[in-house]
A and B are shown apart, each in its own frame.
Chain A
Amino acid sequence: MGIVNPKHKTIGDRLTNVFLGCCVIFIIIVCIYPFWHVIMYSLSDSRAAMSGGVFLLPRSFTLDSYSMLMSTQRIFNAMWNSIKKTLVGTSLAMVVTVLTAYPLSRGDLKGRRFFLLMIYFTMLFSSGIIPTYIQIKNLGLLDTFWVYVFPGAMSAYNMFVLRNFFATIPDSLSESATLDEANPLQILTRIVLPLSKAALATIALYYVNSFWNSYMDGVLYVTSTRLELLQVYVRMLISLTGSLAAVGEVGDLSGRGVITEDSIKMTVIAISVIPVILFYLFLQKYFQKGVTVGAVKG
């Protein structure tokens, strides 16, 4: 690492260190404070929060806006749809990705190049919004739950990452299994997958993240409120601009103190951000690893 030798610090070196230190503080604030702000605002009393400004802690702590938001069925429905989409989508995508990546990692598979090119080309050229929409309509997926999972059943990028990982597993391991009359599926489940736990975890995280965050499918292919995604609901709430009348649509106003539209907005954002942050903090080592795994080309 190109760091200044601490024994002989010149003035220039000291200035460099101060400058770098300031940069670090700035980066931390820019990346963390906005989310902190939203969460603290959502935990504050609406009237106290109204003046705005910087929030280091909640102002007169209350969960009123949470209980108001939670008094409607709609947010639970939206949350459940997003959770279901993420769980079903990730499971399906993992199965499809593993089943595709393993054969394509085997050097003895005839026609391997053809299949690889066929999949690689989809990364270079996409047919666009309208042809995809028409195909999804023709398949009868519009306004069904399956439109959330089938169109994302495999990411070509993740498939290549996993295939490259599988290819690093020494052939000798699977060859010894072949001698014992194991079929490819048994080799995959008994030898290859147990050796690939970290890579699988990383890819699963990427799928979880993309299924949870994607919202265009909810905008393009779904119109019924029953199938509404959390992100789409958040979008609806944030873009509302009609003061309390709009808030009335959100939940029951009676019997509570004043709750402003801003409080409701911050609360719905906090509700969708907090799970992601917790999830990330627990599993961040896989995220970091994953980015690096993906960067290795092959």
Chain B
Amino acid sequence: MTRITAPKGVGSMSRPTGKKWLAYLKSHWLLYAMLIPGIVYIIFFKYIPMYGVTIAFRNYNGIGDISSAPWVGWANFARLFSTRAFKRALTNNIVISVEKLIFGFPSPIILALIIDSIRRKRIKKVVQTAVILPNLISWVVLYGVLYAILSPSTGVVKALLEAFGYQGTIPNLLAQKSSFRALIVISHIWQASGTATVVYLAAIMGVDQELYDAAAIDGAGYWRQLWHVTLSGIRTTVATLFVIRVGDLMFAGFDQIFAISNDAVITVCDIIDTYVYRIGLTQRSFSLATAAGLFQSATGLVLVLITNRIAKKMDPDSGLF
């Protein structure tokens, strides 16, 4: 952990290297000592499991040491891509996360623009507070809230429809295949938009006020100022958040889907994570599940690197690194 290279420019130049090294260590050893808990944590909970991904290339039955399990190469991946369940999970995963990206990515931008246009400070504060609220609550609990709103017997939606004179039966949206993905996407937007909205609001506050004045003098109304000043002023933030979202494309929302899915809709919402959970921890096919997980992480990593590169090319200030 404290493996360090010989420091340059520390201590007096005339001293021998060994002494400089000692002097550096004497004044800095405590800093390295402070790093120990964090680095030990990273090694034990992040890097050792990374060695564990080799299970994907072995035939591991869950008993005994990983490294003693026989090496089978790409066989698990071949098997994985031949199973219908995994192909279904992969398709659902991509469809759900692309839908979340298309419909979910613009919504915090729109929310931020609406909130920004409020002139009464108190209302602005209320709305700003309200949009984050769903983000603070566990998906398990949010599922219960959705149930309260959508329940076909006692829900709010039913009451509202009846108030408008609707007489027919109301489908159980929580268990109906045809609309379940829409429910996933909409509830995701509801839950997740708040935090990004606050980020965009901060970015909008950073836009130079003089630009608005200049645009107003040129006769630009609300919508044209919105397009030419506000949106163009926050494009770096938009690009950065976009990179983050695209990097997450392989992760379609385990917490959410695990909490709100049920057997009636499993065919349209089984994603890679729920698939890995089911075949790995319930059916104990460790190697196959690990292969699915590794495929997911590796693709995710590639996606981050590619989108970061593209974003950097388009706008050097954006991107993650």
Contacts and interface: CB of A to CB of B under 8 A. Distances in A.
Interface of A: 1-5, 10, 12-13, 16, 20, 23-24, 27-28, 30-32, 34-35, 37-38, 41, 49-54, 95-97, 99-100, 102-104, 106, 108-111, 115, 118-120, 122, 124-135, 139, 150-151, 153-154, 156, 159, 178, 183-185, 188, 209, 212-216, 219-220, 231-232, 234-235, 238-239, 262, 265-266, 268-269, 272-273, 276-277, 280-281, 284, 287-288, 291-292, 294-295, 297
B190 interface: yes
Interface in B287-317: 289-290, 293-294, 296-298, 300-301, 304
A238 B143 contact: yes
Given A100-B34, A127-B53, A51 B297 contact: no
Nearest to A93: B41
Contact of A131 (B4, B127, B290): B290
B144 A265 contact: yes
B114 interface: yes
17 contacts: A37-B145, A37-B156, A54-B159, A103-B32, A111-B4, A125-B298, A125-B301, A159-B38, A185-B30, A215-B140, A216-B255, A232-B140, A238-B147, A265-B144, A276-B137, A292-B198, A295-B203
Majority secondary structure, A binding face: helix
A135 B138 contact: no
B212 A130 contact: no
B256 to A, nearest CB: 11
Contacts of A52: 151, 153-156, 158-159
Interface stretch (B42-50, B89-97, B176-184): B42-50
Given A4-B221, A51-B154, A125 B140 contact: no
B58 to A, nearest CB: 12
A238 B221 contact: no
A135 B223 contact: no
Given A32-B133, A100-B37, A3 B117 contact: yes
Interface stretch (B11-19, B80-88, B272-280): B272-280
A234 B132 CA distance: 22
B35 interface: yes
Given A132-B45, A277-B133, A284-B129, A99 B199 contact: no
Residue of A20, A34, A95 with most chain B CB atoms under a 10 A cut-off: A34
Interface of B: 3-5, 7, 10, 24, 27-28, 30-32, 34-35, 37-39, 41-42, 44-53, 55, 62, 66, 111, 114-119, 123, 126-134, 136-141, 143-149, 151, 153-156, 158-160, 190, 194-195, 198-199, 202-204, 209, 212, 215-216, 221-223, 225-226, 229-230, 237, 240, 247, 254-255, 258-259, 262, 273, 276-277, 280-281, 286, 289-290, 293-294, 296-298, 300-301, 304, 320-321
Task: Return the 8 tightest CB-CB contacts between A and B, nearest first.
Answer: A128-B293, A131-B52, A52-B154, A100-B38, A53-B159, A2-B225, A213-B138, A127-B49
Nearest to A10: B221
A2 B117 contact: yes
Given A4-B222, A23-B114, A122-B46, A32 B212 contact: no
Contacts of A128: 49, 53, 276, 290, 293-294, 296-297
B53 A27 contact: no
Residue of A20, A38, A127, A212 with most partner-chain B CB within 10 A: A127
Contacts of B30: 183-185
A235 to B, nearest CB: 5
A231 B195 contact: no
Given A35-B145, A103-B34, A129 B273 contact: yes
Contacts of A215: 138-140, 255, 259
